[in-house]
Structures are given as structure tokens and as C-alpha cells.
Amino acid sequence: PYYGLNLKSLAGYKKEVTTQNFESHYKPDDSPYRSSWWFRKEFKLDNSIDINNKQFWLLFKGINYSANIWLNGQRFAGTDYVIGAYRQYDFNITHLIKQESTNVLALEIFSPNPDDLNISFVDWCPLPPDDDMGIWQPVTLYSTESVAMKYPFVRSKLNVETLAEAELIISIKLQNNQKEEIKAILEGKVEEINFKKEIILKPNEMRKVEFPYIRINNPRVWWPYQLGLSELYKLDLQVKVNDVVSDSTEIIFGIRDIKSTINEHGSRIFTINGHDILIYGAAWTPDMMLRQSKEKDAIDVAFVKNLNLNSIRIEGKFATDHFWNLCDKEGILVLAGWCCCSFWEKWKYWKKGDIRIAEESLRSQILRLRNHPSFIAWFYGSDFPPPGSVEKIYLKVLEETYIDLPTISNASSRPSDLMGETGVKMTGPYTYVPPIYWYLQERVGAANGFNTETGPDVCIPPFESLQLMLPEGYKHVGSDVWNYHTGLGAFNNTKIIEEAIEKRYGKPKDLEDFANTAQVLAYECWRAMYEAHARNFPEATGVIGWMLCSPWPSLIWQLYDYYLNPNGAFFGSKKACEPLHIQYSYDDASIILINKTLQKKQNLTATFKILNMDLKERFFQSRNNIMIDKYSKKEFFPIPKINGLSKVYFLILTLEEESTIISRNFYWLPQNNDVFKEKDKWFYTPLKEHADMSALRNLPKAEIKKLININENKNRYEISIDLENVSDGIAFFIRIFLIGEKTEKLITPVYLNDNCISLLPSERRKINGFIPKKSVTENVLVKVQGWNC
């Protein structure tokens, strides 16, 4: 269903829908998903288990959308209770389970309708005909003795002045499953610290128990990626009855302090362990059919780190527990919340019972996610704040479940009835704008505030990926298949991008040329977006690129495509988000040094060089003994107006530490800038005049010499690529990708420390990276292709 137009051939496809089946629509009369579907599982208990002393539980972490549930022929839950894609259900099934014979679990599941609080991909990709009905998160059978432990939670209070001490507040609910009073002993351990408490539980009572002040001296603090180590602790808990363990669990947690306020610029700022930080991330999405794999989870998180990003935003569809564990381990910050543009935001049409579904969905997700140190914020609205009556219920749940969690009424600048201003904005743009856009404060999406979703798009996959997604006969821009794999409404074609490519770089001669040019355009546009926000911090406090990845083969909104192939936007973003980075400002030609680490840097050397297209030097300066404080910026001079520049010229910035280049930034710049029309559209700002860099098409051919080394190292192959420009002219925008030597099939994922580079004559560069061993089934061929080589 992911290839070509195949989705249209599936049973139940909504042929009459004019919006290409985006969002949720009523199913046609002949859809097989108008009726319920059955899911059945047989299982046996170990004969050695004494079930007379056990309590058995079934935990469902995600059913889309409603269900009747049977065990051994007896229905124990119905659609009046089991309803809502984001709810979790924990059933005591002790009275139904069998030991001597096979147990049969059966679920009759009903798919969601458009007027349900459903799962939606909005305008990112179509929904499959079944609207993703089914069991979409794990089902777990587990057992306890008479007293069970529920909802363990570890909060930490860190001394942010010294980081030398912390207090843990540990809470859990104990459930007595007997008809008589029980004396229980709750015991806990965090490394060498032990604690316990005696509790008398009334018959069938569930009670919250708390250990309020457990002191940790010299804690190993959890830091986000690039700011320090993401240290984790383990809490062991057990409850005993009559000196026998009745239930036990372990919780992995981090000690960190997270706060969010609105600063003097009116921008929402996040403070981690006492330090104000810039949020620079991208929006994550799962697979179109919600298929899950630990391998894909690991790839997504690894790509976030490879991009030098520190965060992701999740809008509904809240990933797997494994994904969240990886974010904890790798220090990736996660901002999560409800999805926009669906029934979740059509409050005035909510049916009787929908408010309870929304309330319990929120409770389920916060209880599930609250122990993750990576979880730093919750949006309880997306494009709009909920009305006060709904907001009041949401805030009550949040207060009951995670009072310390930064919560925001919605991801736009619209104030809410109860919480007021958000300190964030959702102004776009969502399609092409040139690099200078982000620096112009009169533009609504300029680099200020906290932009929760934005980006210049131009996320066309590289040519080798287009070959995989477009069938023969459709391998051209604007074909039926091409447009089917775009978006909804204003985004259902790539005409704005096509115009930008043609007017900025000249008309491509074929599909491959179009794809290659798109990578060049994407690189400069995405780099500028992240660089502008870094320069303008703390007036600009956050930017979430739209988007990180795609739920199916797509032509829009992705830094790496469905085939796990990074595009030009990926490497432009990666360059911009270097922890120690030298950059150019498109508005005033200033050079800025950005330090996004918590270490002061000294004795740095910076060089600034401008070359015409014929490589004649038009400007050069260097600065020595540069010092920059931790998490700060340093502005150098604006580059002066220079006479005699070619129509397109090159700016090369380098930053050295102990004679080693630690940041290199290569710009190609037009003599004349873009000119915008006066009015912004809701999703971008049209141009009156495009900057012209078509002269790049006249660059002479260049030749690249390459030396490849691939070495096996445990579970991966490490790759080293030495490149040298052996020609007299520049080798512009060299891109590296890997294929199989025999099959010529694309090999992904590949993690490189740089790509899409340009080399001056005689210049050499070494690119390092690795390939997971699982990705390699034959000899590897390294492809090196450039704009003019």
C-alpha cells in the first residue's frame, strides 16, 4: 500500500473522498471495516504456578478504537468502557483464568469514525482504509499476590545552584485484592539507599503511598544531548505480605530539573538544571499503519543525534515504550501532546461520553510517560486551546498525575481561558521560503519566539529514493503518483518548490537534475532556519522543524525519507546545529560564533573568506585567541560591501581549536536578494523576485579522487571516505550515499559526520561514519556525486 497508487486498490478505500483520504472520513458502504474485527490469542499458564495465591492481570496499552473483550467465553469488558485509542486498561482477570486448559482471549474491535477521538495523520499522509483500527500497543499478562503495585512515580528535586544534592519523592498505589484487611511492607532501593514503610490496607482498598524526602548527595544529573551525560538511576520496589513478596517492579528514572516560563521577550523558554536552553528539534511521526519495531525506534533516535538536534515533538501517536527509553538514554527531549485538526479539536461537536474519553486518555498517557526524564512538556491542545470547561478537566488530571510537568494549552499563540498566554507560536511557514526569510522580523515566521512547527520544506527525496517510490510511467514531476505522495489542500503538489528551483537555480533538465537541485536548495534553506534561531536566542527560544521523518514514501516534510535516506535538508540542519558553530547572517552579513555547550572555549581561531565563482579571492580576514563563554554567542563584524563580486559568490567560514578545524561552513550567496510580496499567506510568504543563482549551472566540471576504507567493528561497519578535489575548479555540493555492489540497491541507514560538502582545488576532506551491520547484505559501493562532478 505504500508504493505508487497501491493504497487506492485496497478494500474499503474511500474512493468518493476528494481529499485523497487524508484525515478521517466515513467508510463506504462496502468497506470491510464498517463491521467489527476479531483478534484472538490462545495461551497456557505454567503448571507449576499455584493460581490460588495469585492475582492475574491483563494490561492493554492501546486499542483503536473500541472493543468487547472476552476471556474463556466470558465478556468482562465492553465498548461502554473500552473506548479511546489513547487509553490504557488494566483488568483483574483472576476469576476467569484457567490453569489446566488453554485460555482463549478474544477482542471484538470496532474502528473509529470521524466523530471519534481518533488517530489522525492530518495532512501528512493518507489514512489506510481501516483508519488504523486494532491493537496498536502491547498487551501484557502479568501476575501478583494479594497486594499489587500500580503507577509508580519518581519525582526529583535538584539543587540547581550547586547540583550537589537532590531529593526524590517516590509514590505508588497499593491495591489490596482481598476481602480482608492486610498489613503490607513496602520496600524500596535506589543504589545503596534503602527505605521501607508499613501500610494497613482495608479490604479491596487502593491507596497512594509516598516516600517524600529521599536524599541523594552528589547525584549523577541527567542532561540533554550535547550538554552532558544522560545519567539514569534504577528504583527497585517490592511489597511484602507475611514476609512474602506480593509484587515488585523497577523504574528507570533520571535526576533533573525542568522548568518552563515566558521570558521578557514573551517567548517560552525551557530551563534544564538551572540553565536556559534553546530547543532545536523536529516533529516525529510513526508509520502510516502504526507498525512498530525496536530497530526503527533506534534508527529514529540515532538520526536525531546525528542531526545534532536536542529534541522532538510528538503530536498524538505517542510512540513505543522502547522509543521513550531510548530518548531517556540518549538525552533527547520530547514535547508531546494531542494532535491538531481532528475531532480532538472539535469540542462543540463532542458527543456524550467524549469528555470522559479525553480525560481518561490524558490520564493514561501521563501515567505512562511521567517517569521518563526526556518528557519535558505536554500540549493539551494543538492548533487551538480547548474551551474552559475542557481545559479545567485537563488541568485537574495534570495536577493529579504530574504537577511539575510544564503544560501548555496549545501549540499556537492563542491564549486559553484558564492559562492565558502560551509563549509559543505556530505561524509556519510550511513550504518554501528562501534563507533570508528567517532573519526578517516583519515576517510572521521569523526567528523569534518559540515556533512549534515550521520549515521551508523542499524535502524532495534524493533521486535514488524517488526511483524506489515512483513506478515506471510516473517518474516525472507532477505525475499522478507524484502528487498522490504530497500532502493535503495547499500541499497537494510541489508547484511552489518547482518554481523556486527553476527561478533560483535554473530549469532542471530531467527528474534526476530536479532532485539534485532540490537537495542544494533544501540545504541552504534549513541551515538558515536553525542558524537564525540560534543567533536570536533568547528572543527566539525554540524551533521545531516540520518534520523529522515520514509515515510513508513522501515528497514533503522530512529530513530523511521513508527509505531512511537523508536529504539536503538533513545535512543543512546538521551543519547549523553543531554544538560549536560559526555562521553567517543573511540580513546584516554579520558572522556569529555559537556555543551551545556548557563549556567555556578559549584560544579559538576563525577565518572568513569570500571567493568569486572563478575562485578569485575578494575578501579574507582571520581572528585569533577567541574566547566564548558557555552557552553564548559572539558576534564578529558584518562583512563589508565588496565591489566586483560575481553573480554568485562563495563564503567560507572556519573555526579552529588547536590547529584542528571544528566548524566549517560553506555558503553560496547571490548578489541580489529575494524580494517578498507584502502579505504573508497562512503557510508561506510568496516572492515578488527570486534571487538568481542559476550561474552555478555554468561551473566547470570537477574531478574528485576518493579513497574508501570500511572496517568491521562489533555490530557495525565503520567507514572512512577520503575525498580530494584534483581539478582546477570548485567541486560543488558533493553528496555521498551507499549502494550494494551487485544489486545497486540503496543501503540505509548510514550515519555520516558530514555530507553535501564543497571542495576547493587541491582541498582534501575526510568523511567518517558507520553502517549498522544489519543493513549490509553484500559488498558496499560508495557513491560520490556532485553538482559538477
Residues marked active site are found at 383, 453
What's the CA gap between 422 and 451, in Å, rounded?
11
What's the CA gap between 394 and 387, in Å, rounded?
11
Contacts of 346 (CB under 8 A, 6+ apart): none
Q: Are 75 and 168 in contact (CB under 8 A)?
A: no
* Helix intervals (H) in 4-162: none
Q: Are 572 and 532 in contact (CB under 8 A)?
A: no
Element (H, E) at 335: strand 333-337
Residue entry with cell 567507514 = 719
The angle at the Cα of 688, spanning 687 to 693, to the nearest 5 degrees, equals 75
Q: How far apart are the first and last CA of the chain?
A: 37
- The number of residues in the chain equals 789
CA 665 to chain centre: 25
C-alpha count within 13 angstroms, C-beta hemisphere, residue 676: 20
Contacts of 444 (CB under 8 A, 6+ apart): 427, 428, 680, 685
Nearest to 152 by CA among 170, 169, 172: 172
Q: Are 706 and 722 in contact (CB under 8 A)?
A: yes
Element (H, E) at 501: helix 495-505
What's the CA gap between 122 and 18, in Å, rounded?
15
What's the CA gap between 770 and 779, in Å, rounded?
14
What's the CA gap between 136 and 59, in Å, rounded?
13
Record the cell numbers describing residue 676, joined without a space.
517578498
Strand 333-337 relative to strand 375-379, pairing = parallel
Residue entry with cell 470496532 = 110
Q: Are 294 and 181 in contact (CB under 8 A)?
A: no
What's the CA gap between 735 and 644, in Å, rounded?
31
Task: With H, G, I as helix, E, B as strand and everything else as coil, classify residue 435.
Answer: helix
Q: Are 110 and 79 in contact (CB under 8 A)?
A: yes
The angle at the Cα of 179, spanning 178 to 183, to the nearest 5 degrees, equals 60
The DSSP secondary-structure symbol of 604 reads: E
What's the CA gap between 15 and 13, in Å, rounded?
6
What's the CA gap between 141 and 233, in Å, rounded?
26
The angle at the Cα of 98, spanning 92 to 102, to the nearest 5 degrees, equals 120
Q: Strands of 355-478 (E only): list them.
A: 375-379, 407-408, 449-454
Q: Are 428 and 684 in contact (CB under 8 A)?
A: yes
Strand 268-272 relative to strand 258-262, pairing = antiparallel
Secondary structure string (H, E, C) spanning 507-535: CCCCHHHHHHHHHHHHHHHHHHHHHHHHH
Residue entry with cell 558533493 = 734
C-alpha count within 13 angstroms, C-beta hemisphere, residue 409: 22
Backbone angles phi, psi at 200, to 5 degrees: -100, 115
What's the CA gap between 285 and 605, in Å, rounded?
41
Between the alpha carbon of residue 779 and those of residues 128, 715, 746, the distances in Å are 37, 16, 12
Between the alpha carbon of residue 77 and those of residues 54, 85, 107, 458, 741, the distances in Å are 21, 16, 10, 48, 55
